[in-house]
Structure 1
Amino acid sequence: MSARKIRSRFHTLVGQSVEKSQYRDICKMVPDTTDVKLRIHDDYIVQITCAFRCNGIWPRSASHWPRSNIPWPNPSIANEVKSEGFDLFSKETNAAQNQPNKQASSMEGDAWAMSLHHAENTLLQHGSRRKSFSILKCLRDTHLDFPQSPITNYILKTLLLFECEKHYNEYEWEERFIGDRVIGVLLQLVSCLQCRKCPHYFLPQLDLLKGEPAHLLDQSAKITWNLVRQLILNVRALESL
């Protein structure tokens, strides 16, 4: 099954639907990309991805999880996570992106990618983990978001999952410890930025910072460390940041 052909067919079907829609004057397809992106009112861009749900299947590349030497998550939650499976979607390769005006070959434009979004969310649904993630996203938007920032919400989510392994007791995720957990994630972030590497939680061979310019990683590390200092020195900093 060709990922490129699936993406191309999906792109065509959405384009035809937009043209026939009563909203075609306010909803336009974004040109020069094989991804399906819609521009709404010239202000918002929405990306639609065609994905295949793979329930009850756990990827072989993540077979090491859960780690036997770490008591989190408990076996019942781990089984629930594995039963969630993953999503498989077509993704444009770098080779195709670098040749926008040329017809990419079948090999160059053909790639499938995995998303473990549902499994990750299952792990974060207990205690104050989800609330901690919401706070981290807010801090990113207000303090760590600058042009070409390498710090994404997904990286914060990944580091939060590693923080769950470090603090595996449920009482450590009560609301009174949220500040400590947030600081822990940000300290991990500083370390990853300085080391120029952030492994994916389930697929550690995948580096989420791969290809990011060194100067942006250094800049991000300094900004993140300044934020951590504020949180450490002022116990009520989260109320005002």
Structure 2
Amino acid sequence: MSLPKDVKVKYKGLICETFPTLAQEWRVRERKYTFPSPQLIQDILQTGCTLIKKAHRHSKEPDIEWKYNFSMAEHVIFTEGLTYSQLHGFRVLKVLVDNVAFQLTKQLKNKHLKAVYLTALEDIPCDAWETNFSGSILFVITALIACLKARFLPHYFIPTNNLIDCFSETEIEAVCVNVQCLRLFPLIVIQNIVESHGYDYAPKLINMVFENCKSFARTKDITTVFTNAFIPGTVRSVKVMTRLGFYETAFQLLRYVHEQMLLMPMIDDCHEKPSFMELFLVSLKKLHQKSSRIILAKLFDIRFKTAILNEYIISEEFFAKDILPWKMDYRIEYTKIPENKATDFLSLGDIFESLSQREFDKRNATLAGLALETAITCTEEAMKMDSLSIDELTDDSLKKEILSERENIERELKMKLKECYIQLYAISKLYNKLWPLQNHMDAIENLCEEFPEMTPIVCNMFRFIGRENKVKEYTAKCSLLLKERGGVNNLEYNFY
């Protein structure tokens, strides 16, 4: 049976309740610091490993050779054994290495990075990831380079196994050269990565700081540097943060710059320093997006019980908060609604669905999620509406025709909901957050009963939010569905 190219098939294995003899050294070896903790070691040992039907590429008897697999143990480590900073560190390492070596025909896989990363964690104090995150990342990259130069990258649990023995000398050399470039020029690599993804404000910010540093070296005038670099640079950061939906962060940046302003010496021709409101209003005028100005103004009003939002809205316009019969989140309640669509839930749903897609394209998961949740609610309300009662109709054929039409409309609306739920999954994955997906899993499960072709993607949704019991349940449903349908052509395997 051939599977679509976008389906990642995992090996089925036999569970080993005890660790293999080859991995006993991992259990008893001395460690410098607190990773892994004694409790984590016990959890891993209780989890065990699996045997999968996979032979080494140089095996003389591939038909009878099996391989130890420690993916369950790694899952325990990454879900229970790492701090937030350590977990974030692995993601940063993967982004850096993947982007610096993307052009190579033979690249390092997750298993290689995990092996180096977990080994390095044993040689780095846990608190270093909080106090010196960048230095910790560079330590791991240096350890990776050492493994590549030695032509030996040890398996974390079985260090005698070389994970890169399937690489040729030329392939290892190519990977090593690229990773060395990352180690020698980390800032340039990071700048290239962010620019390739459309984020060019950081290099401009850095150039601004460097230019003002030159000026400061000549004049030692910290007030001028603060005024010409720190404040404008912060406002630029606020623009980026609001564009991506990080409104609380943007708000805190402005509060922080005002606190620093209060500590600065007074300028000779300045009688008093501006208040936070004055600084906030000046900064707000520099934001190009109307939605960002409205949301930050509303946030200011909520915090300080003011009414500056009134300066940024037109009272004659129709807003979602005035039309929809439920309380809305302050970040989308001022969405403008055309007057001719104010009473039609289907049209309102389309408006918010379009808004969600636009914000998703801009990587604003906050507005994309809130708008799509509103679109879902509007669609659900449209399904409840029954504009025509047929109880008193005496014409049976007319009754049947109306019922059939209603069923078709309901089916179409449920199809629309299905697409919305799949898009919710994509929004959650944008920044690897459980919201908004986890709030809708009950409704998604109910819909899956009517559209069983959703089973594989629902299984992946539960895997994403960490509901292992549901993952097992839906994995079994997938297997049953495959048997019933004799293939995967009718199943939705597009996992985004």
Summarize deviations over 1:174-220 as a string: whole Å, max 9, x none.
Answer: 2x433222211111111111111111111111101113111221121
TM-aligned CA deviation for residue 120 of structure 1: 2.2
Summarize deviations over 1:76-128 as a string: whole Å, max 9, x none.
Answer: 221111111002111145478x9xxxxxxxx5411111111121233343212
The change in CA–CA distance for 1:220 and 1:83 in structure 2 (over 3 A counts) is same
**Which residue of the partner structure matches residue 101 of structure 1?**
none
1:155 to 112, 126, 141: 112
1:211 to 156, 161, 166: 166
**Which residue of the partner structure matches residue 67 of structure 2?**
113
- Kept in 1, the 8 Å contact 2:55–2:65? The answer is yes
**Which residue of the partner structure matches residue 86 of structure 1?**
49
TM-aligned CA deviation for residue 146 of structure 1: 2.8
Code of the residue aligned with 2:128 in structure 1: it is E
* 2:62 paired with 1:129: no
* CA–CA separation in structure 1 for the residues paired with 2:144 and 2:56: 27
* CA–CA separation in structure 2 for the residues paired with 1:120 and 1:196: 24
* CA–CA separation in structure 2 for the residues paired with 1:46 and 1:170: 33
- Give 3-state SS (helix, strand or coil) of 1:87's partner: strand
- Kept in 2, the 8 Å contact 1:156–1:185? The answer is no
- Give 3-state SS (helix, strand or coil) of 2:183's partner: helix
Percent identity over the alignment? 21
Aligned residue-pair number: 190
* 2:20 paired with 1:64: no
The worse-fitting range, judged by mean Cα deviation, of 197-206 and 45-54 is: 45-54
* CA–CA separation in structure 2 for the residues paired with 1:238 and 1:171: 29
**Which residue of the partner structure matches residue 12 of structure 1?**
none
Q: Which has the higher strand share?
A: 1
**Which residue of the partner structure matches residue 136 of structure 2?**
181
TM-aligned CA deviation for residue 44 of structure 1: 2.4
* 2:106 paired with 1:143: no
> Which segments of 5 or more consecutive residues in structure 2 lack a partner in the other structure?
196-496
Provide the TM-score with structure 1 as the length reference: 0.69
- Kept in 2, the 8 Å contact 1:86–1:115? The answer is yes
1:228 to 161, 183, 188: 183
**Which residue of the partner structure matches residue 16 of structure 2?**
54
- Give 3-state SS (helix, strand or coil) of 1:202's partner: coil
The change in CA–CA distance for 1:108 and 1:76 in structure 2 (over 3 A counts) is closer
* CA–CA separation in structure 2 for the residues paired with 1:173 and 1:238: 24
* CA–CA separation in structure 2 for the residues paired with 1:130 and 1:81: 17
The change in CA–CA distance for 1:75 and 1:143 in structure 2 (over 3 A counts) is same
- Kept in 2, the 8 Å contact 1:230–1:237? The answer is no
Code of the residue aligned with 1:218 in structure 2: it is E
The change in CA–CA distance for 1:115 and 1:226 in structure 2 (over 3 A counts) is same
TM-aligned CA deviation for residue 48 of structure 1: 3.7
Summarize deviations over 1:63-86 as a string: whole Å, max 9, x none.
Answer: 112344214322222111111100
Q: Which has the higher helix share?
A: 2
* CA–CA separation in structure 1 for the residues paired with 2:142 and 2:76: 24
* CA–CA separation in structure 2 for the residues paired with 1:46 and 1:76: 32
- Give 3-state SS (helix, strand or coil) of 2:132's partner: helix
- Kept in 2, the 8 Å contact 1:88–1:112? The answer is yes
Provide the TM-score with structure 2 as the length reference: 0.35
* CA–CA separation in structure 2 for the residues paired with 1:77 and 1:213: 36
* CA–CA separation in structure 2 for the residues paired with 1:161 and 1:238: 27
- Give 3-state SS (helix, strand or coil) of 2:8's partner: strand
* CA–CA separation in structure 2 for the residues paired with 1:135 and 1:196: 24
> Which segments of 5 or more consecutive residues in structure 1 lack a partner in the other structure?
1-14, 16-28, 30-37, 99-106
Code of the residue aligned with 1:203 in structure 2: it is I
* CA–CA separation in structure 2 for the residues paired with 1:95 and 1:208: 13
* CA–CA separation in structure 2 for the residues paired with 1:47 and 1:142: 24
Summarize deviations over 1:117-176 as a string: whole Å, max 9, x none.
Answer: 121233343212221111122123211223332422211111111111101x321232x4
TM-aligned CA deviation for residue 221 of structure 1: 1.2
* 2:127 paired with 1:171: yes
Larger gyration radius, structure 1 or structure 2 = 2
- Kept in 2, the 8 Å contact 1:150–1:217? The answer is no
* CA–CA separation in structure 2 for the residues paired with 1:93 and 1:209: 12
Code of the residue aligned with 2:155 in structure 1: it is H
* CA–CA separation in structure 1 for the residues paired with 2:191 and 2:132: 14
Higher relative contact order (CA 8 A, sep 6+): 1
**Which residue of the partner structure matches residue 25 of structure 1?**
none
